[in-house]
Structure formats: structure tokens, C-alpha cells
């Protein structure tokens, strides 16, 4: 395939193609070709010959096309302390292992267009549960990493932000704005408020901290997901209530009146964004039939979710994980993952067996049926956007 990519740029001597020069492309030409290849093709391209491998080592900017919607990959972490991460393409079965020292003691907070937002963590045991906290002993616990190009952007230290969650934007292949929030979002010893930290990459030297001025019931105590749409940040609690922050004027929008009684136990959900729209998927138990049905919604206002019917589910790909704090994806158009069109790919965790299960569901039926269980593993996993 790599030879086909460069077929039109090989030299011609005396009207005949010089077969000895197809690999001797100028470095700039190699970079231009790599700009137009997806993640797995770039990996294969780099090992075709010595010349292309050397040019790939110095390739640092990845100008990906914004019109394509490649499916996300699963990133496997065998041990947080190790430097190796496995990247698996579910649609093709391809797996690549990337070994980088920067991966050691890190977890993924967010990913988009080939970039990962990573944080170095330290593990503590509390009441027989493992909890991960930001490793403040390092000078750079938060950073952005492109595992393909090896590009790294260090972010300033935040002195105290337990159990962080975050998101960031990318423009022309370069990260622009990073937003962090904490799961321990409310100060229980004082007035409850939301704190966000924002930074413009390459412009700001320190984080800007922003706090809400309004109070919320103390029952709303966790923010498992953060999304950015345009210049608006959405923070979601475990009841899928959205709290909105405007990046342009650095202010929180006044939330709708919320009563603590409104927050009953809600079924597990995943929330995700695609092309400016936010979606939610809930796993609901039908007590009458003792079956789990899966409901799909689109966000209309900060607290109002619109139910999606079967027609609106067509030609969509859903990539989910059982816990809401993990990143999930939905692709709105037909993409390269045709085998899973109109299906939901769910990675679930079984507490009893301590194993993860990768299951495909048909989503256009009333009760989605399991189509296949293709992967079982005891590793930490994340859906990541490799660009």
C-alpha cells in the first residue's frame, strides 16, 4: 500500500520509471504523504524502508483531515507503572504496542484527534478501595501527548485537584484550550460551588481558576464527565445534569432551579459529543420483563434530554464503556467501521471475575441483543481518538 501512495511521485528517467528511487523521497514529501494517512497506515508506512523510517522519526506535525471520522481505538494499560500501551482497532483487529517513558504512572482523562490528555497518578487504599490521586511530587503531572508523533506539551501544576476530569480542543492539529474539573467538586466545609481550571495552550503560563457563585444541593457531589462544544464547557454530574461554563466571558451560566429531591437514583449512563451535539446512553432495567433496555438521548437544554427513536439511531456507531467517567464516542455518519454500523460497542466490567467484556449490541431493536463477545481482558481500557 505504501508503494501505491507514492506511485505518482517517483522520478522518470528517459520515459521509464526509475524503480530504485521510489524509496528515496525527500523528507518533506514523506511528511506530506504522512499528513494524509490514518494512524494504522502511518505505522505501516514508517517500516517500509530505512529512508521512510528515518523521515518518520523527525515527523512531528500531523495534519489530519477534518472530514473523516475514523472509529476510536481501545487503549490497553497492563500496569499503570509500565511504559507500554496497546492500541487496538476493533474494526480491523489491528494492535500496536507503543513504548514511551511518558506513559508511566499515567491515566487518560480525554483524547481527540490523536492527542491524549494524561495525568500522572499515585494510588492509595481507602476503606479497601483503590483511589488514584494526582502525583504532585512530579513537576509536570498534567500533559498532552501525541503517541504517534511523540509530541508532548507540558501543562502547569495545579496544587490541589483530587480525582480530576478534563477535556480539550484541537485546531489545525494543535491543542488549544484545556479544561479540568475535580470529582471532589464541592467544598463540603463551606458553600457548595463548582471549580474549573482553564488554560490556553502556548499562551497562558498558569491555569485560570473559575468558581460558580450559585449554590447547589450537597447531594450533587461528583462530576464524572467534561465536554467542550465550541466555546462552551459542559460538566455532567452522576445524574446527567449539565452545568455550563462560557469560555468567552469566563462565567458559569445560571443553572435551572434544582431541588435535591429531584435527584433519585438514575441508571448508569454514558455521555458523549459529536459535531456539536451531545448524546446520552442509559442502561435501564425493565422490571416487568427482567431485561435491560438501552435508551438513547440528545441534549436539548442544560437539563432536558430528548429521546431518540429508531430512525434517528440509524447509521450511527456507538462506542461505550460501563462507567460514565470514561470517554465514549458516537459517530453520526457511515464510517470505515461498517461491520458495526447501527450497533453499540460496549466495554463492561464484571466485579466478580475482575474482567472486562467487549460486547456488540444491535441498537435499532427494542431490547438490544448481544451479537458477539469478542474480547475479555483484565486490563485497564479506554476508548481513544487516534485521529
pTM: 0.78
Radius of gyration (C-alpha) of the chain in whole angstroms: 22
pLDDT tens digits along 70-79: 778 888 888 8
User: Is residue 73 a contact partner of residue 375, using CB atoms and an 8 Å limit?
Assistant: no
**Taking the CA of residue 13 as centre, how many other CA atoms within 13 Å lie in the half-sphere pointing to its CB?**
5
DSSP per residue over 259-284, as a string?
A: -GGG------EEEEEETTEEEEEEEE
CA angle 355, 359, 361 (to 5 degrees): 155
N-to-C CA span, the chain: 20
Using one digit for the tens of pLDDT, what is the confidence trace for 182-220? 865 544 444 467 789 999 999 999 999 988 877 665 555
Pairing of strands 73-77, 84-88: antiparallel
| CA–CA gap between residue 79 and residue 107 (Å, rounded) | 10
Which tens digits make up the pLDDT trace of 251-299? 888 775 554 444 445 566 788 998 899 998 887 666 666 666 778 889 9
Judge contact between 179 and 161, C-beta under 8 A: no
DSSP string, 241-263: -EEEEETTTTEEPPPPP--GGG-
Structure-block grid coordinates of residue 241: 445534569
Beta bridge partners of 171: 174
Biggest distance spanned by C-alpha atoms of the chain = 83
Domains observed in the chain:
2-57 (no CATH), 73-384 (2.120.10)
Q: What is the pLDDT of residues 140-159, one digit of tens each?
A: 899 999 988 788 999 998 88
Amino acid at each position: 500500500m505504501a508503494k501505491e501512495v507514492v506511485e505518482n511521485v517517483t522520478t522518470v528517467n528517459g520515459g521509464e520509471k526509475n524503480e530504485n528511487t521510489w524509496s528515496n523521497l525527500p523528507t518533506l514529501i514523506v511528511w506530506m504523504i504522512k499528513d494524509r494517512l490514518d494512524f494504522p497506515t502511518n505505522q505501516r508506512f514508517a517500516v517500509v524502508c530505512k529512508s521512510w523510517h528515518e523521515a518518520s522519526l523527525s515527523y512531528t506535525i500531523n495534519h489530519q483531515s477534518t472530514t473523516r471520522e475514523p472509529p476510536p481505538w481501545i487503549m490497553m494499560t497492563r500496569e499503570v507503572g509500565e511504559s507500554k500501551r496497546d492500541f487496538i482497532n476493533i474494526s480491523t483487529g489491528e494492535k500496536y504496542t507503543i513504548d514511551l517513558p511518558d506513559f508511566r504512572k499515567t491515566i487518560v482523562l480525554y483524547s481527540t484527534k490523536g492527542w491524549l490528555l494524561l495525568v500522572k497518578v499515585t494510588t492509595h487504599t481507602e476503606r479497601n478501595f483503590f483511589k488514584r490521586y494526582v502525583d504532585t511530587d512530579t513537576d509536570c503531572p498534567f500533559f498532552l501527548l501525541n503517541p504517534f508523533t511523540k509530541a508532548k506539551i507540558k501543562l502547569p501544576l495545579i496544587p490541589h485537584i483530587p480525582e480530576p476530569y478534563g477535556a480539550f480542543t484541537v485546531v489545525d492539529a494543535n491543542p488549544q484550550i484545556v479544561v479540568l474539573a475535580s470529582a471532589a467538586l464541592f467544598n463540603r466545609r463551606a458553600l457548595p460551588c463548582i471549580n474549573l481550571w482553564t488554560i490556553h495552550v502556548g499562551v497562558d503560563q498558569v491555569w485560570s481558576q473559575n468558581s460558580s457563585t450559585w449554590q447547589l444541593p450537597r447531594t450533587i457531589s461528583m462530576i464524572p464527565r467534561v465536554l467542550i462544544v465550541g466555546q462552551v464547557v459542559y460538566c455532567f454530574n452522576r445524574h446527567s445534569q449539565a452545568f455550563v461554563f462560557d469560555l468567552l466571558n469566563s462565567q458559569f451560566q445560571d443553572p435551572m432551579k434544582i431541588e435535591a429531591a429531584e435527584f433519585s437514583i438514575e441508571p448508569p449512563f454514558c455521555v458523549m459529543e459529536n459535531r456539536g451535539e451531545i448524546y446520552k446512553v442509559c442502561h435501564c432495567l425493565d422490571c416487568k420483563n427482567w431485561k435491560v433496555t438501552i435508551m438513547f438521548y440528545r441534549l436539548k437544554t442544560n437539563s432536558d434530554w430528548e429521546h431518540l427513536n429508531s430512525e434517528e439511531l440509524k447509521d450511527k456507531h456507538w462506542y461505550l464503556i460501563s462507567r460514565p467517567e470514561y470517554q465514549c464516542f458516537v459517530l453520526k455518519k457511515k464510517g470505515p467501521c461498517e461491520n458495526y454500523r447501527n450497533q453499540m460497542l460496549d466495554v463492561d466490567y464484571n466485579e466478580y471475575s475482575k474482567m472486562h467484556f467487549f460486547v456488540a449490541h444491535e441498537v435499532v431493536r427494542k431490547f438490544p441483543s448481544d451479537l458477539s463477545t469478542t474480547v475479555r481482558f483484565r486490563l485497564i481500557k479506554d476508548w481513544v481518538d487516534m485521529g
